Homo-oligomer: A and B are copies of this chain.
Amino acid sequence: MARRSDHSREEIKEMALIAAEKMILEKGLSGLSARKVAQAIGYTVGTLYLIFKNLDDLILHVNARTLDRLYQKMTADKPLPSDSQNALLQLAQTYISFADEESQRWKIVFEHHSEEEHTPNWYMERVTRMFTQVEKHLQALAPHKSAVEIKNAARAIWGGVHGICILAITGNLGVAGVESVDDLTQSLISNYLKGFTSN
């Protein structure tokens, strides 16, 4: 049994999140339990509740890390796309492959509706950050549009990409394979942009 001062609060937090991610990877959200996390890191459940408000809070932290990973992939250096439209398509593709490759991790971001009234700011910032990436390319593509129009277009497009992804993963789309998802997304974005930039 671990004794006090074996690890700092931060160390325990980190260990717990890593253990939780491993369980989620293996068996999804239903494979996760506070007791199992505690056991995996060599502490009792009680200790976990000194660090996280509850299991929901722990999951929220896992989700924040998932958003971090995705953001990293979205901002990683890639062969420079020929134009902003291709940059957007590439962003979408990154999103789709992330959802595909890390589907267990990714699903939970939307499966888990925190009981809290108000999603904490440190979490919301991670969401906003992703939209900013999309807005950047949209602005370059349609310089005559207002900030509000760009903001809305980013949300429409990104919502669209996300919707196709999640319907595919939950089996509610009636298609199979990453390629189909890719095709649908390409179609969605390029047709949308044709309309968006023409007025």
Contact = CB atoms under 8 A, between A and B. Distances in A.
B160 A156 contact: yes
Given A110-B166, A113-B28, A162-B166, A152 B194 contact: no
B192 A188 contact: yes
Contact of A163 (B109, B131, B164): B164
Nearest to A29: B113
A115 B179 CA distance: 24
Interface string A22-48: 000000100000000000000000000
Contacts of A170: 110, 113
Interface residues of A, number: 46
Given A111-B113, A195-B194, A173 B188 contact: no
A79 interface: no
Interface of A: 28, 107, 109-111, 113, 119, 124, 127-128, 131, 152-153, 155-168, 170-175, 183-185, 187-188, 190-196, 198
11 contacts: A124-B174, A131-B174, A156-B187, A156-B188, A159-B165, A159-B184, A160-B163, A162-B167, A191-B192, A191-B196, A194-B195
